[in-house]
Structure formats: C-alpha cells, structure tokens
C-alpha cells in the first residue's frame, strides 16, 4: 500500500461530500435542505480536520525532512498554502453554521461555497497529482500518513 493511500481515500470522501453539497445547493434551499446542508458541512469539516492532522503531523514533516530539495520545498509550499485554505474554510463554516442564515442568504451562500469548494478541489487535485507521488517515492523508512 502506498504511503498516501489513506489520504487519497480521504480526498475521495471529501469530493463525494462536496458533490452532495453541490446538489443540495443547486436546488432551492428550503428549511429542510438548509438543515441537511449544515449536517453535510459538519461531516465535511470532520473529514477535512482529520485529513489535515494526518498531513500536518506526519506527511508534511516527513517530506520536509527529505534530502531531496524538490520534495522538501514542495511540502513547505503546500503546507503554507493549506494554511490559507484552512483559514478560508474555517471562516466559511463559521459564517454558514446556521440553517436559518443559510436559507435567508441562499445566493450569498451559493457564491461563497462555489469559491471555497473550487479551492478545495484544486488543492486535492494538486496534492494527488504533484505532492503525493513525491511522498510515495520517499524511502520506506519514513513514517506513513494516517
């Protein structure tokens, strides 16, 4: 099993939840669907938090310790960039934690979620295509991500 197999599975789960959310968001946001959206956002947040801990505590430190400057540099850059996305996501979730507000300001929520989900999707794609192949190539003696 590759070093990043669990992280890639978490990416798949994140993308699945986002897809479900986008279906909810594209439809009329009713009181019922607003509650469903906040429940899905909570699930997305839980998976994302678990994922970030695995990256921040295991994967990124192992990659930054690599003697290969490309690997170490890419891990540093991704770590810095993820901090920006993490902060933007935290602000997004805090702003839209109320089903009532979400329903009342549905169009603003749609625009905000499109921006955040696009950034998350780009991040996942870049990690899968650029970062994780380097992580998988690290020596087998390095710690594995959760």
146 within a domain of the structure (yes/no): no
25 within a domain of the structure (yes/no): yes
59 within a domain of the structure (yes/no): yes
Residue 68 sits in a domain whose CATH number is 1.20.120
| pLDDT surpasses 80 at 14 | yes
56 within a domain of the structure (yes/no): yes
Domains in the chain, number: 1
Residue entry with tokens 């991040």: 123
| Domain enclosing residue 106, as ranges | 5-137
In whole angstroms, what is the distance from residue 55 CA to residue 105 CA?
34
How many CB atoms lie under 10 A from the CB of residue 117? 21
Please give the C-alpha separations between residue 81 and each of 39, 75, 76, 84, 91, in angstroms, as whole numbers.
Answer: 27, 10, 9, 5, 16
In whole angstroms, what is the distance from residue 34 CA to residue 102 CA?
6
| pLDDT surpasses 90 at 81 | no
The predicted structure's pLDDT at residue 141: 45
66 within a domain of the structure (yes/no): yes
């Amino acid at each position: 099993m590759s070093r990043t197999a669990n992280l890639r599975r978490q990416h798949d789960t994140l993308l699945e939840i986002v897809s479900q959310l986008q279906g909810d968001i594209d439809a009329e946001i009713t009181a019922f669907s607003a509650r469903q959206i906040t429940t899905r956002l909570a699930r997305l947040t839980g998976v994302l938090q678990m994922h970030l801990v695995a990256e921040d505590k295991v994967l990124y430190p192992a990659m930054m310790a690599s003697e290969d400057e490309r690997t170490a540099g890419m891990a540093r850059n991704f770590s810095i960039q993820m901090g920006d996305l993490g902060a933007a996501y935290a602000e997004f979730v805090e702003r839209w934690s109320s089903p009532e507000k979400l329903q009342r300001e549905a169009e603003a929520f749609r625009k905000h979620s499109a921006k955040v989900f696009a950034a998350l999707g780009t991040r996942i794609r870049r990690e899968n295509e650029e970062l994780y192949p380097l992580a998988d190539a690290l020596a087998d003696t390095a710690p594995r991500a959760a």
